[in-house]
């Protein structure tokens, strides 16, 4: 589904994007994600396609606001039945129960929101958004209020609902976990879609520094192109020359940014001979679930994310001298485009 919306208030938005399966709308705080969802739902005056001109109640969308906005004095069933006021009571109840079954919550139909867990409340809100059999789901931050295991459960469930109902969903979030699992990813920065595509493509090849930072490419540094001999090019960095893939837009002498994801920095053992070896001393080791996050202080400061077993196997501790390699195919190059506002937005 193609979406194009323009509005001036409360913030300027001019966004055009495709919604396909579970589509994540990723963007920094204040970039206009909620505003765009509300505009599509008809809750804010806007020009756009589809649905412009239709009052909110006639738009075939299911909108789930941030924090769900369940009515505390209504049961799960009554919450889900709320948007079905146009139906006779018996049909309303039956339809609402069907929707609760769809989200696996029929057994808790008589509970009030405060008697449900965060994940269960999210399901009730999703059932309510599905109540009128919309052609598009608009979900605002569906995982922000949840702990990690519940987020995983909610995500699996969302993917399942999108798959079984065939209803595409546009999901506003800053949750990189959700973004990574999406079918399609659109990045909203200052009211404009600056990049969209399959999640793995946006994660591996962010188009601007802002997108790179949003998708967790935390290692980003300026460099100068030294020479180009396709298929390779060499860039000068404070850590010495690095071999990278030659891209059509590179020219010798050009200033570029190079980046590598923390999980793609390789720690020994290496197959030799390997280009792009960097030395440094480990600092700031912290646990992140089953991974260890660390900083390698050398000519540049590199963030690393290692599986716990690798860190244990190599006896990594703060102060350990370490050599890492940066495989050319994992090094991403970006033009030093200051018009994106990215260098100052870290
Ligand atoms: N009712 C309002 N009145 C004035 N400004 C508003 C209003 N609602 C939103 N804004 C402004 O519009 C901009 C976009 O807000 P919006 O809530 O759409 O961003 P967001 O990307 O959803 O942010 P977050 O991720 O923090 O929820 C922000 O600068 C915000 O301050």
Residue nearest to atom 2 of ligand 1 (CA): 10
| Helical residues (DSSP H) of 215-322, grouped into ranges | 308-313
Determine the Cα–Cα distance for residues 161 and 103; give it in Å rounded to an integer.
8
Give me the mean pLDDT over the 183-188 stretch.
95
Residues facing residue 49 across a β-bridge: 4
Gap from CA of 71 to ligand 1 centroid (Å): 23
For residue 37, give the ligand 1 atom closest to its CA.
18
**ipTM for the whole complex:** 0.94
Task: Quick: pLDDT tens for 254-300.
Answer: 999 999 999 999 886 655 667 899 989 999 888 887 888 999 999 99
Cα distances from 269 to residues 221, 304, 326, in angstroms, run 25, 15, 13
Q: What is the pLDDT of residues 98-143, one digit of tens each?
A: 999 988 889 999 999 999 998 899 899 999 999 989 999 999 998 8
In 3D space, the residue among 342, 137, 73, 100 whose CA is nearest the CA of residue 222 turns out to be 342
The whole-angstrom distance between residue 346's C-alpha and the CA centroid of its chain comes to 17
341 Cα: distance to centroid of ligand 1 (angstroms)? 19
Q: Is residue 90 lining ligand 1, measured as CB closer than 6 Å?
A: no
Helix H segments across the chain?
33-41, 76-81, 89-102, 118-130, 148-165, 176-181, 199-204, 209-214, 308-313
From the CB of 33, is ligand 1 less than 6 Å away? Answer: yes
Which has more confidence, 112 or 52? Answer: 112
Q: Which residues pair with 260 in a beta bridge?
A: 219
Confidence class of residue 337 from pLDDT cuts 50, 70 and 90?
A: low
Ligand 1 atom closest to the Cα of residue 11 is 12
30 CA distance to ligand 1 middle (Å): 5
- Contact (Cβ atoms closer than 8 angstroms) between residue 344 and residue 264: no
Nearest CA to ligand 1 atom 31: 30
**Percentage, residues of the chain above pLDDT 90:** 59
For residue 340, what pLDDT is reported?
Answer: 43
CA 135–ligand 1 middle distance (angstroms): 26
Q: Say if ligand 1 is within 6 A of residue 29 CB.
A: yes
Is the model's pLDDT at 338 over the cut of 70?
no
SS3 78: helix
Residue ranges and CATH numbers for the domains of the chain are 2-208 (3.40.50.300), 217-335 (2.40.50.100)
pLDDT bucket at 342, cuts 50 / 70 / 90: very low
Question: pTM score, two decimals?
Answer: 0.85
Mean pLDDT over each residue of the chain, to the nearest integer: 89
pLDDT mean over 62-76: 92
Q: Does 60 contact ligand 1 (Cβ within 6 A)?
A: no
Any ligand 1 atom below 6 A from CB of 35: yes
Candidate of 26, 34, 46 to mutate for ligand 1, largest count of ligand atoms within 8 Å of Cβ? 34
């Amino acid at each position: 589904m193609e979406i194009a919306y323009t509005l001036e208030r409360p913030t300027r938005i001019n966004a055009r994007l495709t919604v396909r399966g579970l589509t994540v709308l990723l963007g920094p705080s204040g970039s206009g994600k909620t505003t765009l969802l509300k505009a599509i739902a008809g809750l804010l005056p806007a020009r756009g396609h589809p649905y412009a001109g239709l009052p909110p109640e006639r738009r075939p969308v299911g909108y789930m606001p941030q924090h769900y906005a369940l009515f505390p004095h209504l049961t799960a069933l009554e919450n889900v039945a709320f948007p079905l006021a146009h139906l006779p009571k018996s049909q309303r109840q039956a339809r609402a129960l069907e929707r609760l079954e769809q989200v696996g919550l029929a057994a808790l139909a008589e509970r009030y929101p405060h008697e449900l867990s965060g994940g269960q409340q999210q399901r009730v809100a999703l059932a309510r958004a599905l109540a009128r059999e919309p052609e598009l789901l608009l979900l605002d931050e569906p995982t922000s209020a949840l702990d990690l295991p519940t987020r995983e459960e909610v995500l699996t469930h969302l993917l399942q609902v999108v798959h079984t109902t065939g209803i595409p969903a546009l999901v506003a979030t800053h949750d990189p976990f959700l973004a990574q699992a999406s079918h399609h990813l659109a990045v909203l920065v200052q009211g404009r879609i600056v990049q969209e595509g399959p999640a793995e493509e946006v994660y591996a090849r962010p188009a601007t520094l802002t997108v790179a930072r949003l998708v967790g490419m935390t290692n980003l540094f300026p460099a100068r192109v030294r020479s180009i001999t396709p298929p390779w090019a060499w860039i000068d960095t404070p850590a010495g020359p690095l071999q990278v893939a030659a891209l059509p837009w590179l020219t010798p002498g050009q200033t570029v940014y190079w980046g590598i994801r923390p999980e793609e920095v390789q720690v020994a053992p290496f197959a030799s001979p390997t280009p792009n070896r960097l030395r440094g001393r480990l600092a700031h080791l912290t646990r992140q679930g089953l991974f260890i996050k660390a900083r390698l202080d050398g000519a540049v400061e590199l963030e690393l994310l290692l599986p716990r077993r690798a860190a244990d196997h190599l006896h990594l501790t703060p102060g350990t001298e370490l050599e890492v390699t940066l495989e050319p195919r994992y090094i991403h190059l970006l033009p030093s485009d200051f018009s994106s506002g990215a260098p100052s937005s870290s």
